[in-house]
Amino acid sequence: MNNRYSLLILCALCLSGACFAQSIHDADSYPLRNIDQAVKMADESRVSIDGAFLRQNRGEEDEFVFEDTQGSDIVVYDRQAGQSIRLNTPAIIFGEVDRGLLKTEINLHSVNYERTPASPGSASLAQSKQTTSSAKVATTAALKAAEDGLFIHLSSGPDAPRRVAMAMTMAAAFAADHPVLIYADLDAVELFTKDAPTIAAEGYQPINEQLTRLKTNGVMLRVCPTCLAAAGYSSTDLAEGVKLADKREFFSFTDGRIISVDY
């Protein structure tokens, strides 16, 4: 008799577990969004995103970079430290939006590697999309793995125009085929604000023109939050395309070696 009741209880638990697993992937509970849409959602909102994990965030065993089918990426926090993560494998992630002070991430709840089509009759479309996305992710990951990055630490300001101009020139030279991140602190933060002074060094382009070209070429422009505040500015004073620095980005803006220079 005891064995029979134990079996019935076990079956009930299994069925309740199956129902719970099904509810976790419910479209109403976890609406399907792309990353650009997800980062605009309220903090702690549940969301599902279609794409693939590209890589582990450098130096963080519980953080992974996830790219959606539109080509945007976001950091995903996995409290299981990657036990359920498969890199470069098409997947739908289910999680919660985590809006931090400097950036938005996703707290992972579960992963579905089966990639169920979003609507009836769209199986062939989803399969085609999966194949294209899979090839794109593999190609992107291979390219990123081969790229070394340049980290430029800029502390000189308007009083040292040649040093500033040389930093910009170096960034432009490398940006054509390498990821480049400029980190500005101390006297340099003023150069990255909306009301930055117009300065130029003999033999170089004006600083504001160089900055415009760097933004166009995808150079990441980051400013020290502490130095910015000490100079009397806030994040709302930053020029277009300039962001507050996030220390984790220093190690994750490229997968290759990181070369550092100071100006």
Average pLDDT over residues 15-31: 54
Q: Would you give the end-to-end CA distance of the chain in angstroms?
A: 80
Residues above pLDDT 70, as percent of the chain:
76
Lowest-confidence pick of 74-88, 128-142, 181-195, 233-247: 128-142
pLDDT number for residue 4: 47
State yes or no: pLDDT of 185 exceeds 90: yes
pLDDT of residue 176: 81
Taking only the tens place, the pLDDT of each residue in 55-92 is: 988 767 888 999 999 999 999 998 887 777 899 999 99
- Mean pLDDT score, 33-45: 91
Scanning 28-175, the segments in alpha helix (DSSP H) are 35-38, 123-145, 161-175
Pick the CATH number of 35-145 from 2.40.50.200, 3.90.1170.40, 2.60.120.620, 2.60.40.1180: 2.40.50.200
pTM summary value: 0.47
The pLDDT of residue 19 is above 70:
no
Does 149-262 match 35-145 at the fold level? no
Per-residue pLDDT, averaged over 172-191, amounts to 92
Output the average pLDDT for the chain: 80
Lowest average pLDDT, out of 26-30, 101-105, 142-146, 164-168, goes to: 142-146
pLDDT reported for residue 115: 63
Mean local confidence (pLDDT), 126-146: 47
Q: Evaluate if residue 109 carries a pLDDT over 60.
A: yes
Is the pLDDT assigned to residue 248 strictly greater than 50? Answer: yes
CA atoms lying within 13 Å on the CB side of residue 212: 8
Please say if the pLDDT value at position 18 is more than 90. no
Query: Residue 215 to residues 168, 208, 209, 228: CA-CA distances in angstroms?
Result: 11, 11, 10, 20
Q: How far apart are CA 61 and CA 98, in angstroms?
A: 18
Q: Is the pLDDT of residue 124 over 80?
A: no
What residue segments make up the domains of the chain, in order of their start?
35-145, 149-262
Select 149-262's CATH number: 3.90.1150.10, 3.40.30.10, 2.70.70.10, 3.40.1260.10: 3.40.1260.10
Categorize the per-residue pLDDT at 120 as very low, low, confident or very high, splitting at 50, 70 and 90.
very low
Closest CA to 36 of 63, 64, 71: 71
